[in-house]
Amino acid sequence: MPASVIRLARVTGRLSLALAAVAALVVVFLTLIALTDGAGSGLAAWSTTVGAGFALALWRARRRAWPARLVPFLPVVVAAALTVTVCIPTVPTDRRHPPALPFVVTQHWNLSTGSRVAVYHYPPADRGARQPVPFVYLNGGPVRGISVLDHRFLQLLARRGYDVYAYEPAGAGRSDLLPMDRYTISRSVRDLGAFVDRLDKGKVDILGFSAGGVVLTRALADPGVAARLHRAIVAEPGPMDGPTARITGHKGRTSARDLAPAMTGPRSTHVPRYAVAFGLMRLGLLSPGTGLIGQTEGDNAFTAADLGTDTASAYCARDAHRIPTEDIARNFSFSPAASLRVQQTISDSPSIAPRLGRSRTPAMLMIAECSSQVRQWATAVLAHDPALGRTQYMPGVGHHMWNGLDDNNDRAAAVVTAFLQDKPAPLPNYPARGDIPAFLRDHK
């Protein structure tokens, strides 16, 4: 065999061993990140990994002559350089509230629960009949700012005579943060009750969308909070409790999830620090209160593009190439850690079905044709809430039913206002409670 081939084989072998050593150190680092829950911004795991790597390199180098004695240290240096990027913040670590919106005043209310939330008020239009009951909107998230697309829908309701209020949950948007262990679904329900008390206008009509629908469903099962509600609309809810969260089933008609062009813009997940942090949190290997990144840093890092296909999944397949911009970059706010924490408390909670079965608040359910939600999440509310007397299956729309496309906002507003005014529904009452088995069997 030619000497050149032998030399190439030796170099290739040594390079492979070096790369394997680097990979092994990175795996050790990630394992320690998980075991230490990212203590000290990851520096505890980093220093332990690098220290162990250098100790092993010293042992391997003890019988070598100079300069070959330095070779075992090269993989350690490379691994140290790669992993230290996970320990260095690349965005501000102090809270950065989104700037004020140009079309609505941001108020801040201190609630009796201790939460300080950002509040938006759209007074009813001067023309036409004004509705006597205030209207409150609970947005999705669970800990996400209200999008501009949602604000436009609220403005439409105000033009139809409703006195509209919305607030961003604690930790979201322009609201103040909570300590991580205080983000719970129970706290969200208490905040709703405290908000209505602070509004001090008697009972309210309320629309809860997605995660907001979960808060509203659980409020209907809480007699103390439900007593403050006049009429309730649960739109495209997530799972209402632990047993529901564990249900696996089909979703609605095909969404645009795998059909829409990829979202553009910066992504935190392209930065090693946040790719590791958010990835390990999503896998359950880091707690929402991890020491790797603080709550404010995570909020500042997360961008709209990080939502990836989740945004596309909120639209029907036929809308894949005309998905509207849901928000502006300066208004977008999402707290991945706090949202995960709230979701965990839902998954860990016992069934609320017995308490929901005692609800007496008139309620309506809205379901999208191309919903990305598991159907049983919605039908569980329908099955267990005896006061839920109307269901509106919204054709031609995905999870985000008021999306500014075609006449979708007007159609959603027509469904909402007809129920709140106790007028005939613009769509058939479907699925009714007795339709649930066939509705699920037919994969509607």
Q: What are phi and psi of 80, to 5 degrees?
A: -65, -40
The per-residue pLDDT for 248 is 86
Question: What pLDDT, on a 0 to 100 scale, did the predictor assign at position 57?
Answer: 78
Provide the pLDDT for residue 385.
97
Average pLDDT of the residues in 265-289: 92
Beta strands 229-235; 363-370: pairing state: parallel
Question: Count of CB atoms within 10 A of residue 421's CB?
Answer: 14
Domains of the chain (ranges, CATH numbers): 3-87 (no CATH), 107-441 (3.40.50.1820)
Number of H helices, E strands in the chain: 16, 8
Cβ–Cβ contacts within 10 Å for residue 225, how many?
A: 22
pTM to 2 decimal places: 0.92
The pLDDT of residue 377? 97
- Among the listed ranges 59-68, 234-243, 360-369, 385-394, which one has the minimum average pLDDT value? 59-68
pLDDT tens figures, 403-440: 999 999 999 999 999 999 999 999 999 999 999 999 99
Strands 135-138 and 116-122: what pairing?
A: unpaired
Number of alpha carbons in the 13 Å side-chain half-sphere of residue 316: 16
Query: pLDDT, tens digit, for every residue of 45-84?
Result: 999 999 988 888 788 777 776 776 677 778 888 889 999 9
Q: Cα 16 vs. chain centroid, distance in angstroms?
A: 41
Asked whether residue 5 carries a pLDDT value surpassing 60, the answer given is: no
Q: How does pLDDT run across 103-150, given as a tens digit for each residue?
A: 999 999 999 999 999 999 999 987 777 899 999 999 998 999 999 999
What pLDDT was estimated at residue 129? 79
Query: What's the pLDDT tens digit per position in 24-48?
Result: 999 999 999 999 999 999 999 999 9
CA dihedral 214, 218, 224, 227 (to 10 degrees): 60
